[in-house]
Every structure is written in structure tokens, then in C-alpha cells.
């Protein structure tokens, strides 16, 4: 179509925000309208619109903005000379980097000379011709196409429209489109026809509902045009109709999912935070704010890692990096947070990553639970256990616990060591009895049977551990139910071998001493001081490790035998008696000739002459080494017992058979702060918690009355006023006649254990809340039996009530989709057998209504036996069906996009050929005599430019579908660079750029398609020429780099911003600055370059120091020999 008055043709480019307010308009606007660009900002540009067209323009803009769709508006625009001319405004939505709608961009085009009657007739002729051309599209279109007359009766409908409604064409021709539309839509649609379609000839796309032949109502979207006769009169309407049922369902599901997430996020009792891939907070719920101590607004400027304690940050960030790299889907970690007030708290973080449709990280979701109290309780409990273990080891005291209901007998490590039984050995009463010394088995069994009848179990006996015989003391407290049946018990075992040996040694020593005394085998000496002659008996010499007659008979000889550490004390005692003449006693060590040390006890006395001078010292020595050894053993045993009591935070006490204290108990008084007077009698009850007093006092009175062991757990007020939970145990001490002579007991501080139990209960409650907030189901599987406890939303997400699900693993297995059972079993087996750290699998489960739901199943083994076999596993189920449906919809949309690009490119190419030919014919026919040669040249350039754009679109489409055919050969780099420069020469020359080319002297050849290689270089050089202001500099270098050819193209143009750099090779990627300088283009050139380079086995990268500082593009291609090998 050729227009007149082309010299008056103009185009104005503009952009608006989401409300339609102008925020940019180019310099053509003042020249055309006389209104300044500043006056046009906001809504000022509307002042240039004809008053009769103003309302229509506002309505069209509102409809377009509400639906984020492209628009076309025809209206009259006031020129600078005051005349109004028809103009066509076209606009398309624009989005930011996060795909958020931010407004429109478009052009206003002079259209006045294109709406005269001649063109109208031409359009009618073209319409009739296009109807014939479009007949194949009409028949094969997947969208419905329908034509109606002005009364609404259907005249024509394509097969897709007939199938959509379930009618044949003959049935449809007997109906109106109003009869196919629910009545609720009639007024709206009439208004669309009246206010949009008839005045303008077409409508924007709008939505309503249709009624199928079977009565079902479904949503559709449609766009309608008027149909005119040869005189231009409107005779009917034609519409393109699309069934949008699936889209509406997906949108509704997405809204529901988002609303559930929003409510759960805001109201969850545990902390929720949403962070970007760079770890910056995007949102946080109130629980998260309470945990961290920050307000939500303060968190939005912080990164999540900034809250983590510096010592814990590396481990957390290492896991986060693995998650972002796709190595793990998420992670759970316990670390410390530093709150706003500087306080350190322990938290448990559950971190997961949500990726976009392109696979790139989108959001990081973090669930945070404050576990500080639990950590403190665990640390205290662990310290208490460690202290108890050390005390047991030092005191050689082990313990055991019996649980009859679970048929479990547990021994401490020290108990295993005492009995010499390896850990993991099955423990039974018979195996225990077999370790007891044969001579003691009958007594032990009788004592145990009496204990089962309720009598105290307290016995000393021997055991045989390997080749060693040991003495042990066992004491047990057994628990019975109301019927007298045994429930379990707790007992201690103490290795008393050393004590028994000491007692035996003491008895033997005393026997030897008796025999020595009786036989007068006490060593004696007589020292004559004036002559320094010291006479020793043979028994005394033997005590010093000497043979008969070996003693040197001098005082100095005796002093030399005394242990150096004891010598001064022994000599001082000798001098003392020499001065006073009184008998003295002393003990010292002597060193035998073989180096061994013995203890000596001496009694001696000095005598003086008449002048008061010492003349004689006589006395006896006894070897007390055995006694000293026994005393030392007893001290060590007492020390071990004392350490055990102190490490266990126990208070020991005793009282007479009446159960009333008659003597002060120092440990009790130190703990409670009571005075001696306050604690006597039943004064202990005054520091028992009021809520526990009645039960504790009653139990104590009953135990005293029956003479049975006492056990209770209750709270006692410490001296600082704090209430502490105590475990109180007491047992009667009986004489030989069985009469109680004393009560002995202990109070053990178990407050930390109680707090840990409370924290555990709270943790379980928080877990239940988390499951509810996250709409999760959980399972607890006892692997050997196959029994499973299901909970949370496990059953409801499948449409069942929990009572309908059998608590067995086979109930779950029967619900798994047949196609996925093998994979689920394989993954589960890998984890159960220890080949993976946890179990995770996405699979389908059958809903009660017969549909299939996608489930994310996660879990891990939490308990194994000694052989490593799994005993118990726990995990969760999450319904991810909505996510799978959304992913499927996105994949379908991406496929339709590729098909659209291919179709668009082909459809655009068809009309270009006759336009190009027409220009060629005009140039050939008229030559320089053509009336408007510059105009013809402009058409030639624009057609050529459009052809290049279409070719690029086709190329991108072929590459995306894998249909590029490369004709590979050895190509010289200089050859394809020359062809590229030739194709870019017109643009370079028109912008007066200075180009320098440096190619290495050595021959450089690439194995590839010469045409595609030239296309790569041309696109990069053309890109540099476009985005470099006139008179710029372009440098082209080609050199060898290892086994590659490295092509570099540098310019001093507009450069690339840092935020644009990651997307510079993306399809349709352009910045605002590039759009203004590009002189047309779709932003696909660099995307095409990357695709062509990669299919040649190479790579491409872009570099820029920022906006206004130029750019450099580097293409690396394998050399011919290396490239052929790489491509093969």
C-alpha cells in the first residue's frame, strides 16, 4: 500500500507508568504538538487529544492497564498549528527484571492520510482477499472462530468452535451467540458491542462464559472485529474464542495456595523468613521478629547471615552455597543468632530453596525455632551425665535399669566394665547369674526372689570376670503396680574388691602383728650416745631390709636409711626425747636397699646422766606398711564415694527409726539455709513446695511405718529462695536381728532433668504447630514390625480420615502410583541400608476420590540396633501437586512461545518479499528520475533491516528446536572477518567510526560453518557500531590462545551496566539506553551469537567497566584440529 503526503509522516515514542501517567516522551512531540515535553508528563499529554476522543482514550488505557495487554487507539491529535490530525497510538506492556509490570512503552504514528475512502475500499478488497487466504487458518486453528450477523445469529464457525461447544455447524446456525451466553453476561457484552466494537471496529480481549450443549458452563476469552460489506457498512462481527478453563483453574489454585501460605506465614508460631538469593530479607513474620529482636522494617535491610553468630556463620554459609548450587534441596542446622540487643540465642533453622521456572534460585525460605532453653537444659544434663559417669568410674559404681513392659534391661558403661560383659551382649537374668561365683549363686538368687516379693535387695557377693574374681555390692529398688506385678527397677553395682582385699590384708596384718607380739618379734634398738654405738635386733634389721649384722651401728647409718622427706621429722623427735627425757611416738618411711619403701612406727625414750647429759636412747620399731596401705585404700574408697555423692549433686542424711531428725544434718542445712533448730523433728517439711508437701509427707510416714525404702520426687526451696526438683531416696539400716537402727537417705538435684523434660514437651507441641502451619503430614515407622503412626495432615491430604488408614507400612505402599513404586522402594532401601544420609522422594499417592496427588516424602532413620539395622524412622509428607501443575503449565507456555516465534517469523517473511521486489522494480524502472529517491532509499533500508530481524528470529527458532544445519569446513579467521566487516561497512561508515583490525601473523583456522562464523562476527561488530556514538573507536583483535582462536571486539560506546551484565546474552534483552541508540532491533543478536558459538564448541563473554565506559566481547573458538576433535 502506497500513501500520499509521506513528507508529513511522523512517529513519537513514549513510556508511561502503570497508571497511564507519562514519564518519557521524545523530542518529536513538541515539534508536532507545540506542547513541551515537561508539560506532557503525567497526564498533561491528554490535553493534546481531541475533546470528542478523550473519554475513549482514557477507557482504552484503563482496560489495557488492568489486563496488562497490548493496545491500539485511534484518536485525533492537535498539531502545533491548531489543526487536528488522526493518529494511531500503539503500546505494549513493559516489565522490570523481576517480571513485575511497570507500565507501557510505545509510539504515536501519523495516520491521517491513511483513513481516506480510497484506502477504505482498498481495505475492503484486501479483507475479501484475506478471507480466502485465511481459509486454511480458519479450518485448522486450535482457537474457535465464529462469525455472526448483527442480530447475533451464527453464520459461520470453524471446527475448533464446534468442538468447544459440542454443537454441529448446522445446530449452531440455528442459535444466536446470546443463547450460548449465561444471562448474567448479557448486559456487559451488549455494552462492549455498543461502546467498543461498533465505534472502533474491534474490541480489546475480554472474558465471559459459554454454555455447552451438555449444559456445562465454562470460561472463555475472546476478541471481536466488525465485518463490513463492499460499501463499508457493518454487516456482522467475527470473534476469536479461546477456552480458558484450565487457566482459570490454575489461577484459582494458585490464589488459594498463596492465601494459605500468606495466612500460615503471618500466623505461624515459629519464625518464618523469606530471603532473596543474595540472602537479603524480603519478608518475615511476627514470630521471626520476636526471636531476632528486630522489627520487620529493620530486617528488610539485613541479610540472614548477619544474624548468625560469627563462629557459626561458616558452617551455615557452606550449606547455603551447596543448596544454591543444587547439591542439596535444603538443610536443617542449629546455630546461634545474635539478637538486636546483643544477646546470643540458639535457634534451629530449616532452610529450603524455591527456584523459578528457569531453574534459577528465586527465594530462600527459612523456618526458625528458638531452642535456647533446650540447649541450656541439654548442656546441663550432659554435664551432669558426664560428671556422673566420671564419678561412677572413679568410685567403681555402675547402674542398671529394668523395664518389664518393654522387656529392656539397660546397663551403664561402668556396669559392663565391672562384670566384664562387652556392650551389645544380650542381657538376661540367667546370663547375669552365670557370672556370679558358683559358691554365691544360691544366696544371690534367694535374695533376688525375695526382692521380687517386695523385700529389700542389698547384697555383697563375688563374681567371676574372665580369670579374675571380684567382690561387688548390689542394691536395687524395684517398682510394682497396684496388683503387685513387677514393672521394673533401678539398681547400683559397686566394685568393692579393693575394700575386701584391704579388709583381708588388715586381718592378716593384725594376725601377723599378734604373732609377732606373741613371739617378741618386735624390732628393738639400744643406742649408747657417748660411744655412738647403736645395737639393733635382727628383727629390726629385717624391717629396714638388711640382713643380720648389716646395720652400721651408728646414728648416721640409721638416718641414712630414713626416707629423705621424713628424715628431718624423725631426727627432730629423737632430739625431743633426748632433751625432755619423755617417751615419744613417731612414724616414718625407710628406703630399703632395693629401693622399695616401708612404713615404720617407733616408740622410744632418751635417758640422761646425773649431770643432765643424754647418754642413752632405747625403743622399739614396728613395720606398719600394711596398715598404711589399708588406710590409704580406705581413704581412696571414701574419697571416691564422697566424689560420687558430690558429683551427683546429692545431699546425704540420716535419722533414727522414728523418721524424725534428732541431730543437725550439715549438708541439708547448707542447701536449704535452715538452722539446726528449724530442721529438727519434721522441720524438713517446711521447705517442701506447698503443692508437693501433702503427698511427700504421706509417702515418708508410710515408708517409716512399713520399714520399706522411700522414693519421691518433689520440689525443695534452696537457701537462695529458688525451688529445685529433688529425687529423694532413703532405706532402713538394720542390725543383725533385723531391727531398724537408722534411716539413711540422699536428696539428688534433678531440676535440670525436669527442665529438659519440660523443654521436650514444649518442643513436641511446637512440632505439632509447625506441622499444622505447613499443612504437613508425618509418619513414625517401627521398621521391624512395619507398624506406622500417621499424623498431621497425612490422611486428610489424601481425602481420608485418620481412622480410615491402617497403621501399617503396607497401607502406604498400596497408595503409591504403580509407575513409581520401584523408584520409591530403591530410594528407601538406599537409606535404610545406610547408603544415603536421608530419604527423599517425590511420587504420587492415590486420593480417596481416585485422583493422584504429588507428594514430597522426606524422612530418616533415627534409631538402629547394635548391628546397624534400622529400628525406627520418622518423616513428613507435603502435598506438592499445585507446584507440579504450575510447572507443567509453565513448560507448555514456553513451548507455545517457541512455536509463536517460529510462526511469527515465517508470517512476517511472506509479505517482505513482494515489498522488496517492488522497491527493486521502482529503482530499476525510474532510476535517478524517481520523484522521491531519498524516500525510496529509506524504504529500502527499513525493508533490509526488517529482513535481518526476521532472519534472526528464524535463526533463534531453528536453534531452539535443534534444526540448525552446519556445513563445517576449515575456515580462515581472516576470511570470515572480512565478510563480517563488509556486511557491517554501511553502518560503520554512516556513523563515521574508526575501526582497527589486528590479526596474528600465524595462520588461524576454525573448523565450522563459514556463513555462521561470519554471522557471529558481524553481529558483534554491528552491536559495537550501534551502541557507540558517532565518531567512535572499534578495535578487532584475533589471536591464538592455547588451542583456541580468541576474537576480541572492543568499543568506547555506551557500555553495559552491572545489573544488565548477567542478562546481556538473554533473548530480547535490552536496556533503555540501548533501545534509544539501537536504531531498531529486538535484542536477539547477542542471544543468536551465544547459540551459534556454543554449537561450534566455543564460548562467548562480555566485559564492561560500566555505563559510558565501552564494552568488550570475547569469542573463543577451537582451532581447526582441536575443534574437529572436540565436536566429535
pLDDT at residue 363 is higher than 60 = yes
pLDDT attached to residue 891: 74
| Range 1012-1020 average pLDDT | 89
> How far is residue 649's CA from residue 753's CA, in Å, rounded to a whole number?
12
Short-list 1077, 1008, 1003, 1071, CA closest to 1040: 1003
**In the chain, where are the structural domains located?**
6-115, 118-243, 265-370, 377-495, 503-630, 649-755, 775-879, 965-1127
CATH architecture, range 118-243: 2-Layer Sandwich (3.30)
Confidence band of 1081 (pLDDT split at 50, 70, 90): low
Range in 74-78, 405-409, 677-681, 738-742 the model is least confident about: 405-409
pLDDT at residue 1072 is higher than 60 = no
Q: Which ranges of 70-158 would DSSP assign to H, the alpha helix?
A: 117-133, 135-140
pLDDT attached to residue 116: 44
> How far is residue 748's CA from residue 750's CA, in Å, rounded to a whole number?
6
Cα–Cα distance list, 468 to 418, 507, 564 (Å): 11, 22, 38
Mean pLDDT of the chain: 82
Range in 51-60, 432-441, 970-979, 1000-1009 the model is least confident about: 51-60
pLDDT digits (tens, 9 = 90+) for 578-589: 899 899 999 999
CATH architecture, range 377-495: 2-Layer Sandwich (3.30)
pLDDT attached to residue 230: 65
Do 649-755 and 377-495 fall under one CATH topology? Answer: yes
Grid cell 510394682 in the structure block, residue: 480
Burial environment of residue 878 by CB neighbours within 10 A (0 to 12, 13 to 18, 19 or more): middle
pLDDT at residue 267 is higher than 70 = no
Which of left, alpha, beta for 344 (phi over 0: left; psi -120 to 50: alpha)? beta
pLDDT attached to residue 213: 93
| Fold classification of 503-630 (topology level) | Beta-Lactamase (3.30.450)
pLDDT at residue 123 is higher than 50 = no
pLDDT at residue 649 is higher than 60 = no
Sign (positive or negative) of CA dihedral 103, 106, 110, 116: negative
| Fold classification of 965-1127 (topology level) | Heat Shock Protein 90 (3.30.565)
pLDDT digits (tens, 9 = 90+) for 834-869: 999 989 999 999 999 999 999 999 899 988 988 889
pLDDT at residue 774 is higher than 60 = no
Grid cell 490464589 in the structure block, residue: 255
Residue bearing the bigger pLDDT, 961 or 383: 383
Domain at 265-370, CATH class: alpha beta
**What length does the chain have?**
1128
pLDDT at residue 531 is higher than 80 = yes
Residues 6 or more apart whose CB falls under 8 angstroms from that of 1115 comprise 1016, 1017, 1020, 1046, 1047, 1048, 1089, 1093, 1098, 1099, 1100
pLDDT at residue 115 is higher than 50 = no
pLDDT attached to residue 768: 61
Residue bearing the bigger pLDDT, 88 or 882: 882
pLDDT at residue 567 is higher than 50 = yes
Grid cell 545431699 in the structure block, residue: 651
Residue bearing the bigger pLDDT, 881 or 760: 881
Domain 6-115 has CATH 3.30.450.20: yes
Confidence band of 886 (pLDDT split at 50, 70, 90): confident
Cα–Cα distance list, 38 to 42, 58, 535, 913, 930 (Å): 9, 20, 130, 43, 41
- 305 within 8 A of 291, measured Cβ to Cβ: no
| Range 112-116 average pLDDT | 50
Short-list 41, 104, 123, 112, CA closest to 75: 112
Our CA dihedral for 541, 546, 550, 552, rounded to 10 degrees, sits at -70
Residue bearing the bigger pLDDT, 634 or 886: 886
DSSP single-letter state for residue 113: G
pLDDT attached to residue 228: 76
pLDDT at residue 412 is higher than 80 = yes
pLDDT digits (tens, 9 = 90+) for 7-55: 345 778 888 888 888 998 988 899 889 899 899 999 898 899 999 888 8
pLDDT attached to residue 5: 33
Range in 72-81, 117-126, 211-220, 438-447 the model is least confident about: 117-126
pLDDT attached to residue 1037: 95
- 96 within 8 A of 17, measured Cβ to Cβ: no
pLDDT attached to residue 945: 64
Sign (positive or negative) of CA dihedral 1116, 1122, 1126, 1127: positive
pLDDT at residue 932 is higher than 90 = no
pLDDT at residue 398 is higher than 60 = yes
At 406 the three-state DSSP class reads: coil
> How far is residue 914's CA from residue 929's CA, in Å, rounded to a whole number?
22
DSSP-assigned letters across all residues of 149-209 = ETT-BEEEE-HHHHHHHT--HHHHTTSBTTTTS-GGGHHHHHHHIIIIIHHHSB---EEEE
| Range 876-884 average pLDDT | 85
| Range 226-239 average pLDDT | 76
Confidence band of 67 (pLDDT split at 50, 70, 90): low
pLDDT at residue 1054 is higher than 80 = yes
- Please give the angle made by the CA atoms of 1043, 1049 and 1055, to the nearest 5 degrees: 130
| Range 112-123 average pLDDT | 45
**What share of the chain in percent tops pLDDT 70?**
83
Confidence band of 3 (pLDDT split at 50, 70, 90): very low
Residue bearing the bigger pLDDT, 590 or 255: 590
- 1039 within 8 A of 1080, measured Cβ to Cβ: no
Short-list 348, 350, 346, 349, CA closest to 375: 346
Domain at 775-879, CATH class: alpha beta
pLDDT at residue 269 is higher than 60 = no
pLDDT attached to residue 516: 52
| Range 823-830 average pLDDT | 92
Domain covering 649-755 in this structure, CATH number: 3.30.450.20
- In the 3-class helix/strand/coil scheme, how is 723-739 assigned residue by residue? EEEEEEEEEEEECCCCC
Q: What cell was used for 950?
A: 526476521
Amino acid at each position: 500500500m502506497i500513501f500520499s503526503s509521506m513528507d508529513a509522516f511522523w512517529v513519537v515514542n513514549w513510556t508511561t507508568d502503570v497508571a497511564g501517567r507519562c514519564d518519557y516522551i521524545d523530542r518529536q512531540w513538541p515539534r508536532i504538538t507545540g506542547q513541551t515535553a515537561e508539560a506532557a508528563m503525567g497526564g498533561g499529554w491528554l490535553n493534546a487529544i481531541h475533546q470528542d476522543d478523550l473519554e475513549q482514550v482514557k477507557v482504552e488505557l484503563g482496560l489495557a492497564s488492568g489486563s496488562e495487554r497490548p493496545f491500539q487507539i485511534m484518536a485525533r491529535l492537535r498539531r502545533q498549528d491548531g489543526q487536528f490530525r488522526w493518529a494511531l497510538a500503539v503500546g505494549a506492556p513493559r516489565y522490570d527484571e523481576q517480571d513485575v509490570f511497570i507500565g507501557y512503552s510505545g509510539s504515536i504514528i501519523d495516520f491521517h492520510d491513511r483513513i481516506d475512502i480510497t484506502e477504505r475500499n482498498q481495505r475492503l478488497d484486501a479483507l475479501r482477499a484475506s478471507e480466502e487466504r485465511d481459509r486454511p487458518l480458519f479450518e485448522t486453528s486450535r482457537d474457535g472462530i465464529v462469525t455472526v450477523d448483527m442480530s447475533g445469529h451464527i453464520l459461520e464457525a470453524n471446527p475448533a468452535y464446534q468442538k468447544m461447544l459440542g454443537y454441529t455447524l448446522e445446530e449452531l446456525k440455528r442459535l444466536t451467540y446470546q443463547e450460548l451466553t449465561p444471562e448474567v453476561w448479557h448486559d456487559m457484552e451488549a455494552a462492549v458491542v455498543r461502546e467498543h466494537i461498533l465505534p472502533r471496529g474491534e474490541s480489546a480481549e475480554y472474558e465471559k462464559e459459554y454454555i455447552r450443549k451438555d449444559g456445562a458452563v465454562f470460561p472463555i476469552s475472546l476478541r471481536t472485529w466488525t465485518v463490513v460489506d463492499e460499501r463499508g457498512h457493518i454487516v456482522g462481527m467475527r470473534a476469536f474464542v479461546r477456552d480458558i478453563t484450565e487457566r482459570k483453574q490454575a489461577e484459582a489454585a494458585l490464589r488459594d495456595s498463596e492465601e494459605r501460605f500468606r495466612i500460615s506465614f503471618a500466623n505461624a508460631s515459629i519464625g518464618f523468613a523469606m530471603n532473596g538469593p543474595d540472602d537479603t530479607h524480603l519478608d518475615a513474620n511476627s514470630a521471626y521478629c520476636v526471636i531476632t529482636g528486630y522489627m520487620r522494617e529493620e530486617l528488610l535491610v539485613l541479610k540472614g547471615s548477619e544474624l548468625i553468630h560469627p563462629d557459626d556463620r561458616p558452617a551455615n554459609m557452606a550449606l547455603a552455597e551447596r543448596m544454591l548450587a543444587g547439591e542439596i534441596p535444603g538443610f536443617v542446622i542449629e546455630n546461634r543468632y545474635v539478637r538486636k540487643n546483643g544477646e546470643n540465642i540458639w535457634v534451629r533453622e530449616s532452610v529450603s530453596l524455591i527456584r523459578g521456572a528457569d531453574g534459577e534460585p528465586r527465594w530462600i525460605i527459612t523456618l526458625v525455632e528458638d531452642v535456647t532453653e533446650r540447649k541450656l537444659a541439654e548442656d546441663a544434663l550432659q554435664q551432669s551425665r558426664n560428671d556422673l559417669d566420671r564419678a561412677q568410674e572413679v568410685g567403681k559404681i555402675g547402674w542398671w535399669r529394668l523395664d518389664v513392659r518393654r522387656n529392656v534391661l539397660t546397663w551403664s558403661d561402668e556396669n559392663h566394665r565391672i562384670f566384664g560383659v562387652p556392650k551389645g551382649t544380650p542381657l538376661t537374668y540367667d546370663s547375669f547369674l552365670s557370672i556370679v561365683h558358683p559358691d554365691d549363686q544360691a544366696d544371690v538368687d534367694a535374695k533376688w526372689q525375695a526382692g521380687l516379693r517386695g523385700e529389700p535387695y542389698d547384697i555383697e557377693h563375688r563374681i567371676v570376670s574372665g580369670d579374675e574374681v571380684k567382690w561387688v555390692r548390689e542394691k536395687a529398688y524395684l517398682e510394682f503396680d497396684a496388683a503387685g506385678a513387677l514393672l521394673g527397677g533401678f539398681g547400683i553395682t559397686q566394685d568393692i574388691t579393693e575394700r575386701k582385699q584391704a579388709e583381708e590384708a588388715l586381718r592378716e596384718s593384725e594376725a601377723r602383728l599378734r604373732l609377732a607380739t606373741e613371739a617378741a618379734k618386735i624390732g628393738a634398738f639400744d643406742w649408747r650416745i657417748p660411744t655412738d654405738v647403736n645395737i639393733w635386733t635382727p628383727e629390726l634389721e629385717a624391717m629396714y631390709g638388711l640382713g643380720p649384722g648389716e646395720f652400721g651401728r651408728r646414728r648416721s647409718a640409721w638416718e641414712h636409711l630414713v626416707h629423705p622427706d621424713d628424715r628431718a621429722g624423725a631426727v627432730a623427735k629423737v632430739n625431743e626425747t633426748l632433751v625432755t627425757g619423755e617417751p615419744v611416738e613417731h612414724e616414718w618411711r625407710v628406703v630399703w636397699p632395693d629401693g622399695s619403701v616401708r612404713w615404720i612406727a617407733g616408740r622410744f625414750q632418751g635417758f640422761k646422766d646425773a649431770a643432765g647429759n643424754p647418754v642413752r636412747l632405747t625403743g622399739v620399731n614396728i613395720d606398719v606398711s600394711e596398715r598404711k596401705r589399708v588406710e590409704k585404700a580406705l581413704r581412696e574408697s571414701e574419697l571416691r564415694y564422697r566424689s560420687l555423692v558430690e558429683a551427683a549433686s546429692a545431699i546425704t542424711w540420716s535419722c533414727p527409726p522414728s523418721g524424725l531428725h534428732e541431730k543437725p544434718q550439715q549438708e541439708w542445712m547448707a542447701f536449704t539455709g535452715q538452722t539446726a533448730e528449724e530442721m529438727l523433728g519434721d522441720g524438713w517439711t517446711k521447705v517442701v513446695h506447698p503443692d508437693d508437701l501433702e503427698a511427700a509427707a504421706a509417702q515418708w510416714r508410710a515408708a517409716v511405718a512399713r520399714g520399706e525404702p522411700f522414693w519421691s520426687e518433689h520440689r525443695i526451696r534452696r537457701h537462695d529462695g529458688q525451688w529445685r526438683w529433688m529425687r529423694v531416696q532413703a532405706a532402713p539400716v538394720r542390725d543383725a536381728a533385723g531391727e531398724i537402727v537408722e534411716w539413711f537417705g540422699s536428696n539428688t538435684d534433678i531440676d535440670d532433668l525436669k527442665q529438659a523434660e519440660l523443654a521436650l514437651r514444649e518442643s513436641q507441641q511446637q512440632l505439632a504447630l509447625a506441622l499444622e502451619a505447613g499443612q504437613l503430614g508425618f509418619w513414625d515407622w517401627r521398621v521391624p514390625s512395619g507398624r506406622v503412626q500417621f499424623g498431621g495432615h497425612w490422611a486428610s491430604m489424601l481425602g481420608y480420615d485418620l481412622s480410615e488408614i491402617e497403621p501399617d507400612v503396607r497401607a502406604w505402599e498400596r497408595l503409591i502410583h504403580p509407575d513409581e513404586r520401584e523408584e520409591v522402594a530403591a530410594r528407601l532401601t538406599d537409606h535404610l541400608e545406610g547408603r544415603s544420609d536421608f530419604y527423599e522422594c517425590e511420587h504420587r499417592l492415590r486420593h480417596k476420590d481416585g485422583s493422584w496427588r504429588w507428594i514430597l516424602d522426606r524422612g530418616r532413620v533415627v534409631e538402629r540396633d547394635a548391628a546397624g539395622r534400622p529400628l525406627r524412622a520418622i518423616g513428613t509428607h507435603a502435598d506438592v501437586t499445585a507446584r507440579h501443575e504450575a510447572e507443567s503449565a509453565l513448560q507448555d507456555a514456553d513451548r507455545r512461545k517457541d512455536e509463536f516465534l517460529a510462526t511469527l517469523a515465517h508470517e512476517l517473511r511472506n509479505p517482505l518479499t513482494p515489498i522488496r521486489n517492488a522497491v527493486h522494480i521502482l529503482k530499476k524502472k525510474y532510476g535517478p528520475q524517481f520523484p522521491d529517491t531519498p524516500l525510496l532509499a529509506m524504504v529500502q533500508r527499513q525493508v533490509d533491516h526488517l529482513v535481518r530481524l526476521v532472519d534472526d528470529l528464524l535463526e533463534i527458532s531453528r536453534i531452539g528446536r535443534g534444526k540448525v544445519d552446519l556445513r563445517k569446513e576449515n575456515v580462515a579467521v581472516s576470511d570470515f572477518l572480512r565478510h563480517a566487516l563488509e556486511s557491517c561497512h554501511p553502518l560503520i561508515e554512516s556513523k563515521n567510526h574508526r575501526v582497527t583490525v589486528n590479526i596474528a601473523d600465524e595462520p588461524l583456522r576454525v573448523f565450522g560453518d563459514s556463513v555462521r562464523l561470519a554471522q557471529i562476527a558481524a553481529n558483534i561488530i554491528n552491536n559495537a557500531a550501534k551502541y557507540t556514538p558517532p565518531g567512535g573507536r572499534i578495535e578487532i583483535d584475533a589471536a591464538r590462545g592455547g588451542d583456541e582462536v580468541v576474537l576480541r571486539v572492543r568499543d568506547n560506546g555506551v557500555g553495559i551496566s552491572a545489573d544488565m551484565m548477567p542478562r546481556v546474552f538473554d533473548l530480547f534483552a535490552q536496556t533503555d539506553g540501548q533501545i534509544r541508540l539501537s536504531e531498531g532491533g529486538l535484542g536477539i543478536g547477542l542471544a543468536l551469537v551465544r547459540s551459534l558459538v556454543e554449537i561450534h564448541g566455543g564460548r562467548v563473554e562480555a566485559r564492561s567497566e560500566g555505563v559510558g565506559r565501552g564494552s568488550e566481547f570475547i569469542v573463543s573458538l577451537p582451532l581447526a584440529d582441536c575443534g574437529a576433535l572436540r565436536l566429535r
